[in-house]
Structure 1
Amino acid sequence: MESSQTLPILDRTELRILGVLMEKSKTTPEYYPMTVNAITIACNQKTSRKPVVQYDEQTVVLTLDRLKKKGLISTATGGSSRSIKYKHNFAIVFPVTPQEVAILCLLILRGPQTPGELNTNSGRLYEFESLDEVQSVLERLADPEMPYVMQLPRRAGQKETRYTHLLAGVPDLTSEEFQEELSPGKPSSELESRLTKVEQELAELKAAFDQLMKELT
């Protein structure tokens, strides 16, 4: 990783939109690049997002303009659609691999996670061969010469260390937000995880159906 570069400091809205573009480029490539409407819906979805938000299209448009000025996204035109579409340039601006983009995307959209959680949640973004591979990617991303992530102090009663991204700067570990993050977490339910996956698949099926209906009318 090149030490001559520095990471941008992004606000929450910029992070959400950048993360959405990273995610959808892999999970629904047939609908990528994305329109403003599609980006807005993806930002506001209730699964695989922390926190859940409710952006309007004006907020998304203004944020896309800021990200474009920072060189992190660009527009794409052509094809049958007249709408302007957007794609992220993160892997062009920074020397990151698909594995590293997948990890950063998960941390941006879902917040701090352990290597095990990242391995579980990464399936549709990148198929890691093992937990060791996830750990290896995290170690590269935490390289002191150009750190994209950092370890957080362990939660009380938990063995695994969690990681957070640094695209919003180094987090203030004394803030109320991170004090809450560092408090003992509730054990995740397998049923909740499966329900989240089903909800996400249903949302994507609905989006595909809506797109098909538009093409037929």
Structure 2
Amino acid sequence: MSVRTLSAAEARVLAVLVEKESTVPDSYPMSLNSLTLGCNQKTARDPVMNLAESEVAAALDELKSMSLVHEVSGSRVTRFAHNMRRVLGVPGQSEALLAVMMLRGPQTAAELRLNSERLHRFADVSSVEGFLEELAEREPPLARKLARAPGARESRWAHLLAGEPALPAAEVRASSDAPAPARDAELAALREEVATLKELVHRMAQQLGVEIEPGPQGG
């Protein structure tokens, strides 16, 4: 089942519910107050948010309309639980990876393996990559492998539940300022080829006794 694109607040609320179900099961399902605190915590969050309870309540209403969240009765305080795995039709491993990407932003497969350990323990990085590729191959896709950032050794993955991921401003500037590695290598090869040709022409001219007038750059 596909759902509409989530807002940043909706994605954060849903991911916190998935996270806390595993990390603090005694407090799950969650009250509005504890859910707001989880959304705004400063550790293991990127970006850090400062949502008011009213914003979290509004996000919960929208998530309930998509069946991603439901209220749990039988308590003095209204509590909320998620239906993410069932609604999206994904296994628990994929649910864990999506939640960690929703909480911490784009990450490499190795980072996702480390950061999702409390939600699901993956045997190795290749196992993580297998589930990420399954998410990317769905229709519509739920995750995407991003282009490798300048200077990075590995590509990162991002979830697509809230639309296309926004790259940090510093990374956008670095991407636009730095030449593409392929173009850089091509320019270096062309310069080397031109230098070789110049040397060959000069050698032939000397053998023929022909004097070559220097070009605009002394070549």
Map 1:37-48 to 2 at 5 A.
Answer: 37-48=33-44
Q: Gapped runs of 5+ residues in structure 2?
A: 177-219
Q: Aligned partners of 2:63 and 2:173: how far apart in 1? A: 29
Paired AA for residue 163 in structure 1:
W
The DSSP-based 3-state class of the residue aligned with 2:12 is: helix
Letter of the aligned partner of 2:18 in structure 1?
A: M
1:87 and 2:111 equivalent? no
Point out the structure with max Rg over C-alpha.
2
Residue-by-residue CA offset, 1:8-62 (whole Å, 9 max, x unaligned): 2011111110110111111111111000000011011100001111112111112
Residue 152 of structure 2 is aligned with which of 138, 154, 158? 158
Contact 2:150 2:174 in 1 (8 A): no
| Cα root mean square deviation, aligned | 2.0
Conserved 8 A contact 2:149-2:171: no
Tell me how far apart the structure 2 counterparts of residues 87 and 181 of structure 1 sit (CA, whole Å): 41
Please tell me the residue identity of whatever aligns with 1:85: R
TM-score of the superposition, structure 1-length normalised? 0.75
Does the 8 Å CA contact 1:151/1:164 hold for their aligned counterparts? yes
Distance 1:182 1:121 in 2: 26
- Please give the secondary structure, in 1, of the residue aligned with 2:56: helix
TM-score, normalised via structure 2 length: 0.75
Q: Which residue of 61, 68, 91 maps to 1:65?
A: 61
Q: Relative to structure 1, is the Cα distance of residues 96 and 35 closer, same or farther in structure 2, using a 3 angstrom cutoff?
A: same
Contact 2:73 2:79 in 1 (8 A): yes
Paired residue type of 1:53? M
Q: Does 1:147 align with 2:141?
A: yes
- Residue of structure 2 aligned with 1:77, choices 64, 73, 76: 73
